[in-house]
Amino acid sequence: MSNPETSPMPARAAVHPSALRTRIPPSGLREYWYPLIVAAKVPRQRPVQVPLLDTEVTVFRGSDGEIGALDPICPHRGASLSQGDCHFEGTVSCPYHGWTFDRHGELLAVLGEGPRSPLPGMSSARAKAYPTRTLKGMTFIWMGDGDPAPIEEDVPEEFFDEGALVQFAQDMWDCNWRVAMENIFDAHVFYVHRNSVQFRLLPVSTLLAMVHLGPRRARPSVINNRAIAYRMEDNPTARLLSEDVGDRADSDPSLPGDGTEDMAAYRSAYPGLDGQLWPRSNLRFRWSQLMARLLDACHRVGLRRARGRQVHNEEWNGLHLPATFRVDYQTHVYTRFGIPVGTDRTRVVYLHTTYPPSTRRRVLDCIHFRLWQNWQMNFNFSGQDKKIVENQSFSHREKLSATDAFPLAWRSLIVEHSRDSIREREGASRFRESPVSLVADDEQ
Ligand code: FES
Ligand SMILES: [Fe+2]
């Protein structure tokens, strides 16, 4: 386990947190490694164009097997290399006059001029190339202005762990990356996901705890200036989601009992609604009781895998720069990258990470992900988030609540600690203003 530097978030300040949004570049932070593409999806005969960070990249296979990434604007007269062809192994040729480049951007030939062209090898004729690195089948790209940072600082730890099985899925969300990334550890979790398949499988006690989390939440910490996270014991949402009937059945004699008392506690009266109850009915609760019995039976006959912490480095158990959100479910790790594409476009890459102890388990994990988990988690559950954030305003002055502490801490982390912000303060200007700290909404 690492020994992270932790520090509490700033408590007071001079600027309303809504104003911090304008200090975060809508086109994304540039001084970071990002997932570019699943390497297996890059064909041999032609390049593909991948949009990210408000620009585009031409992606093709290099002769050494690594994936190449070039600025699509041809240095000759600006045609798009993404429309070109890969006539020769490890190269891409521009569709206009046939300038042919390798993955480092070196001009190797000018097919339109013939072999006597004096241009190949000239440094002034090079295409702009971006550093890439492929890990466990995912190609990452560095598009920063500065020298590439150590990739281990930006890419989750399992990519460097031989025993980890990392499976991918991808979706496109029609919203800015800043909106997508703030969809975390606030009061939306039970409310938005109450009808998700995942929540229909929650045991009664977890369901009850989710409903009654209340308005006060723990304060997240900044870790190594690259992440914000709760300690597991302080992270009510993640802790509850990672618990299971198997963990609770022995310690909670009410499970899977008739739950009469629990049912009374499930619904609460709201004074502003003339004492009416929410949730409106007990149906979901009764369903949970049923599922608890089923899941408990599965657990007892060994059909459910043993649980235990998968993430031991707390830097990787929350929100991490540049755009990574992680939850340790204790059977697997859920990761969501919100990769900036354009003003209203975010490419969401999901990771499902497990640590199978045997080849048999590895095969079962692959089948489980493809037949069930990918749909259940990434499209059923996360699709509910997508529907909300795609229609969310990000420009009005917000009336914030204490339960918004985590997303607000994320804003502050970017403005104060991101490499882009630090470069800005050191002279190269992306942010125009100096760093600020937050002022609570009720102090305005
Ligand atoms: S514009 Fe690319 S070769 Fe001429
Ligand atoms: Fe959500």
CB contact burial 65-83 (16+ within 10 A = b; e otherwise) = eebbbbbbbbbbeebbbbe
Which H, E and C letters describe 283-300, residue by residue? HHHHHHHHHHHHHHHHHH
ipTM exceeds 0.95, yes or no: yes
101 C-beta closer than 6 A to ligand 1: no
111 C-beta closer than 6 A to ligand 1: no
What's the CA gap between 26 and 431, in Å, rounded? 12
CA–CA distance from 296 to each of 60, 238, 284, 303, 367 (Å)?
Answer: 49, 21, 18, 10, 22
Atom 3 of ligand 1 has which residue's CA nearest to it?
A: 97
Residue 64: pLDDT over 80: yes
Model pLDDT for residues 222-253, shown as the tens digit of each residue: 999 999 998 766 665 556 655 543 444 333 43
Residue 334: pLDDT over 80: yes
Nearest to 127 by CA among 181, 191, 77: 77
**Contact at 8 Å (CB) between 76 and 97?**
yes
More confident call, 264 vs 78: 78
> DSSP for 117-157?
-S-TT-GGGPPPB--EEEETTEEEEE--SSPPPPGGGTS-G
Residue 6, φ and ψ in degrees, nearest 5: -120, 150
Residue 318, φ and ψ in degrees, nearest 5: 175, -135
Tell me the residue type at 397.
R
**Contact at 8 Å (CB) between 132 and 69?**
yes
**Contact at 8 Å (CB) between 350 and 40?**
no
**Residue the block writes with tokens 């104003």:** 19
Q: How far, in Å, is the centroid of ligand 2 from the Cα of 384?
A: 7
Give the distance, in angstroms, between the CA of residue 217 and the centroid of all CA atoms in the same chain. 22
Model pLDDT for residues 356-396, shown as the tens digit of each residue: 999 999 999 999 999 999 999 999 999 999 999 999 999 88
Q: Report the pLDDT averaged over residues 246-261.
A: 44
Centre a 10 Å sphere on the Cβ of residue 294 and count the other Cβ atoms it contains: 12
337 C-beta closer than 6 A to ligand 1: no
The three-state secondary structure class of 229 is strand
80 C-beta closer than 6 A to ligand 1: no
The tokens for 211 are 């409903």
Mutate to test the pocket of ligand 1, among 81, 92, 96, 128 (most ligand atoms within 8 A of CB): 96
**Residue the block writes with tokens 């762990």:** 161
Edge-to-edge strand list for the sheet holding 55-61: 48-52, 55-61, 67-70
Residue 440: pLDDT over 70: no
Residue 73: pLDDT over 70: yes
77 C-beta closer than 6 A to ligand 1: yes
Mutate to test the pocket of ligand 1, among 97, 108, 110 (most ligand atoms within 8 A of CB): 97
The tokens for 185 are 């550890």
Model pLDDT for residues 103-154, shown as the tens digit of each residue: 999 999 999 999 999 999 999 999 999 999 999 999 999 999 999 999 999 9
Mutate to test the pocket of ligand 1, among 99, 110, 111 (most ligand atoms within 8 A of CB): 99
99 C-beta closer than 6 A to ligand 1: yes
**Contact at 8 Å (CB) between 173 and 387?**
no
